[in-house]
C-alpha cells in the first residue's frame, strides 16, 4: 500500500518485524531515526508515541542519545487544546525529550535506496533508520465474502454494531467505527453486543447502546 515500505521501513506491529527492528537497533551507531504514521487507520494510536519515548530511553541507556536524532512525522496537525488532552500531552512529552515533530506530513512512498520518505506535495524527510506504523486494512477474507466494502472496515451501526446483514455484527479492528483501532474499543463493543444478544435471546433486560470511553 505504501511503495517502498517493505524494503525501507521497520515496524513492530508483528513479531517478526519487531525482532528485525530489535536487531537493527542493536547495530545502529548514530544518525537520524524517523518514526512515522500512515494516512488512514492504524492499530493503537498512542503506540507511535511510546515508540519515540522508548527509543529515547534506549539510546540514553546505551550512552549515545546525543548521537541520535529522533524525529516523528504524522499526518495530523500540531495538537492544540488543554494540556491534559491525551494528544496534547503526548506531543509535549515528545518535545520534552528533544524529539522533533513533523506535522501534516502525508506519506506517499519510501525510497529505500536514497533513504528518504516522500510525502505529498513534494515534501521529503531523509533517514538513517525508518520506523513506520503499517496501515491497517481488514483481513482479505472480509472483502472476499462481501462483508467489508471499504478500506476502513465493515460498515456498522455505531450504536449497536449491526451490519447490513441480519444477525451479523462486527466489533474490533474490522469494524468501521469513528474510533481508534484499539483493544479497549473492541472490549467495550464486545460488552455491549454480548449484553444485547443476551437480551434478544432471553427476552429479559433492556438493550443498550455503545458509549465509548477512549482517546
Ligand X SMILES: Cc1cc2nc3c(=O)[nH]c(=O)nc-3n(C[C@H](O)[C@H](O)[C@H](O)COP(=O)(O)OP(=O)(O)OC[C@H]3O[C@@H](n4cnc5c(N)ncnc54)[C@H](O)[C@@H]3O)c2cc1C
Q: Which residues contribute to the site for ligand X (CB under 6 A)?
A: 12-13, 43-44, 47, 139, 141, 172-174, 181-184, 186
Nearest to 9 by CA among 42, 53, 57: 42
Task: Report the C-alpha gap between 70 and 132 in whole angstroms.
Answer: 13
Give 65 or 181: the residue with its C-beta nearer to ligand X: 181
- Minimum CB separation from ligand X for residue 63, in Å? 27
**CB closer to ligand X out of 39 and 47:** 47
Q: Which residue has the cell 484499539?
A: 182
* Cα–Cα dist 166/143, whole Å: 18
Produce one character per residue of 190-214: b if its CB has 16 or more CB atoms within 10 Å, e if not: eebbeebeeeeeeeeeeeeebeeee
Closer to ligand X by Cβ: residue 44 or 88 = 44
CB of 51 to ligand X, least distance (A): 9
Closest approach, Cβ 184 to ligand X, in A, equals 4
Instruction: Kindly tell me which of 65 and 188 has the beta carbon lying closer to ligand X.
Output: 188
Q: How far is the CB of 154 from ligand X (least distance, A)?
A: 11
Q: What is the DSSP letter of 76?
A: S
Q: Which residue in the shown chain puts its C-beta closest to ligand X?
A: 172
Measured from the CB atom, is 8 or 48 closer to ligand X?
48
DSSP letters, 145-195, are: TTS--STT-EE--TTT-B-SSTT-B--GGGEE-SS-B-HHHHHHHHHHHHH
Min separation Cβ 190 and ligand X, Å: 9
Amino acid at each position: 500500500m505504501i511503495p517502498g515500505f517493505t524494503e525501507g521501513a521497520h515496524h513492530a506491529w508483528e513479531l517478526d518485524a519487531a525482532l528485525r527492528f530489535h536487531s537493527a537497533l542493536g547495530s545502529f551507531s548514530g544518525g537520524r531515526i524517523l518514526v512515522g504514521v500512515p494516512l488512514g487507520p492504524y492499530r493503537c494510536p498512542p503506540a507511535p508515541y511510546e515508540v519515540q519515548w522508548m527509543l529515547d530511553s534506549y539510546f540514553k541507556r546505551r550512552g549515545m542519545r546525543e548521537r541520535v536524532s529522533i524525529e516523528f512525522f504524522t499526518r495530523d496537525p500540531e495538537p492544540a487544546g488543554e494540556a491534559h488532552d491525551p494528544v496534547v500531552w503526548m506531543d509535549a512529552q515528545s518535545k520534552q525529550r528533544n524529539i522533533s515533530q513533523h506535522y501534516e506530513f502525508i506519506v506517499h512512498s519510501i525510497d529505500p535506496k536514497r533513504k528518504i520518505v516522500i510525502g505529498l506535495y513534494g515534501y521529503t524527510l531523509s533517514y538513517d533508520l525508518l520506523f513506520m506504523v503499517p496501515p491497517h486494512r481488514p483481513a482479505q477474507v472480509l472483502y472476499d465474502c462481501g462483508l467489508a466494502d471499504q478500506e476502513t472496515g465493515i460498515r456498522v451501526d455505531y450504536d449497536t454494531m449491526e451490519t447490513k446483514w441480519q444477525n451479523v455484527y462486527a466489533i474490533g479492528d474490522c469494524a468501521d467505527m469513528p474510533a481508534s483501532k484499539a483493544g479497549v474499543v473492541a472490549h467495550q463493543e464486545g460488552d455491549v453486543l454480548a449484553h444485547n444478544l443476551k437480551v434478544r435471546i432471553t427476552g429479559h433486560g433492556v438493550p443498550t447502546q455503545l458509549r465509548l470511553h477512549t482517546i
